[in-house]
Amino acid sequence: MSKRALISVSDKRGVIELAVKLVELGYEIVSTGGTSKTIKESGVPVTYISEVTGFPEILEGRVKTLHPKVHGGILARRTPEHLAQLEENQITPIDLVVVNLYPFRETVAKAGVTLEEAIENIDIGGPAMVRASAKNYQDVAIIVNPDRYGEVVAQLTETGELSQTTRFQLALEAFQHTAEYDTAIAAYLQSIALATNDGADGLFPREFKLEGAKLQGLRYGENPHQQAAFYQLAGATGVNIAGARQLQGKELSFNNILDANAALELVKEYEGPAAVIIKHNNPCGASEGDSLATAYQNAFACDPVSAFGGIVALNREVTGPAAEELNKIFLEAVIAPAFSKEALVVLAEKQNLRLLAVGDFSGQNSASATGNAGNNGGKPSLEIKSVGGGFLVQETDRGMVTAAELQVVTQAKPEDKMIGDLLFAWKTVKHVKSNAIVVAKDGRTLGVGAGQMNRVGSAKIALEQAGDQAAGGVLASDAFLPFSDTVDQAHQAGIVAIIQPGGSLRDQESIDKANQYGMVMVFTGQRHFKH
């Protein structure tokens, strides 16, 4: 007795070759719509679905497989009772189902797609067949991924049957396929609700679902005894580390990816040619310069000891001169929009150095104190942090201030060059772990104090690192300064201006001390805690 395979696919990769092999193995092929036409035109015998159901496709193809002669054939267990019912109702068992779904994600990713077009690409019959087959996996094999065709055909050719292990794996993949599909639909409709103010739950829905495609397994996590993998979040937009192309070097580690992400997000802040160096998720150097080579030299000079083994991000295409500078010490990775041919030749001398090209991201971090959307189509982007037993979701911190938004609170007023340094320091301190202090001058960092339990400790680290160069420089604090101690430290080191959020009940103490020293102090009205 021949077996029956039902094939109905949106992704037609390899479907003709599969149909040929199945016919050779004694299967009768049943198919629908465009899939049936594709198989028939290839010369492979195929039975049209309406010949099985005795009912035409109706409602512009919305209904074609939702029929007892299809679902009865899929859901029947191979027990005497079920087989007798199939015979009584003239239903032929279906042994293999090959289905993948309408291209919903691809449709909604197109520019200008309408809600009506999106709705028409929501598959109904396909998920029903996939779920029915997966539920009955012990008797019916379900394939949703064309990459599985070769494996299935090989096993059928060798043994005539699929093992229960293979059937279970295919069923698991099938339920993952439909779950991802439904999640994509829900996410799209949620975005429509947000855009039209139609969503009852606003930015944060009652149920928050994450969907990601595995990019790679990792050797280990933060430490060798921890397993790990890297996933790309479905629907992610803009330039991000998950979308980077690795051009050379060793495989990225868990910590490399974290640091590369931190580097990329910081370097996006700057408009001129810029370089940042990240170590353990904190910047140990950042600079804007006339060229990438100069910017990197200045970033490196901030903390040469920490820069060794760091990760560098740049915001312009890397050319030969910059590559020559990068080659002078051991680095784990370099991230940039692109690399010139000359730069690739130079950097190829260090075969293990990871090179990541992410594409142009100019203007991608443009936001202000009054908005947090950045370059995300006017919609806030979200970030997720895990905690024991759950996770936190918040808007990504895209906030930034302009010169016009600064509030000068001291008698001394900043000149244009000082404002430039203050804004540079403010962009940088935003990406330093709290408590955070950054000392800067001439568009480059001189000292960074990160992650201390009190702000005095962070200021001490940053000012000691800056040393004599701090004289004439500026200091940025990620949170307000309720006491004058940090102002005292800054003055003793020669700092001439401070930028901070303001907003403490004791702001006046710091303002008075700054006035006593003749220092400039500006408020941003916005803080940048980073835990």
Q: CA-to-CA distance for 466 and 469, rounded, in angstroms? A: 6
45's tokens: 């015998």
Find the helix or strand (DSSP H, E) in which 266 lies.
Answer: helix 254-267
Which amino acid, 493? A
Interior/surface letters 426-435, b for 16+ CB within 10 angstroms, e for the rest: bbbbbbbbbb
Q: Residue 44: phi, psi to the nearest 5? A: -85, 130
Rounded to whole angstroms, the Cα distance separating 35 from 51 reads: 15
Helices within 114-247 (DSSP H only): 115-120, 125-135, 149-159, 164-195
| The pair of three-digit structure tokens given for residue 373, joined into one six-digit string | 């959307």
Q: Which two tokens stand for residue 222?
A: 């933060």
Place of tokens 């790309």: 232
Is-cis flag, bond preceding 435, omega within 30? yes
Burial of residue 175 (number of CB atoms within 10 Å: 0-12, 13-18, 19+): middle
Report which of 109, 234, 237 is spatially closest to residue 184, judged by C-alpha positions: 234
Query: Angle at CA 70, nearest 5°, toward 69 and 75?
Result: 100
From the candidates 40, 209, 280, 350, give the one annotated as an active-site residue. 280
Query: Which of 40, 135, 209, 350 is an active site residue?
Result: 135
Is 225 a known active-site residue?
Answer: no
350 is catalytic: no
323 touches 301 (CB < 8 A): no
Instruction: Give bridge partners of residue 288 from the DSSP assignment.
Output: 274
Alpha-helical segments (H) within 287-367 = 292-302, 304-307, 320-326, 341-347
Report residue 517 as tokens: 């020293």
Closest CA to 9 of 31, 27, 42: 31
Round to whole Å and give the CA distance between 126 and 133.
11
Q: Are 245 and 356 in contact (CB under 8 A)?
A: yes
Beta-carbon contacts of 491 under 8 Å, excluding residues fewer than 6 positions away, are 513, 517, 519
Q: Are 295 and 289 in contact (CB under 8 A)?
A: yes
Distance CA 448, CA 91 (A): 74
Residues recognised as catalytic = 135, 280
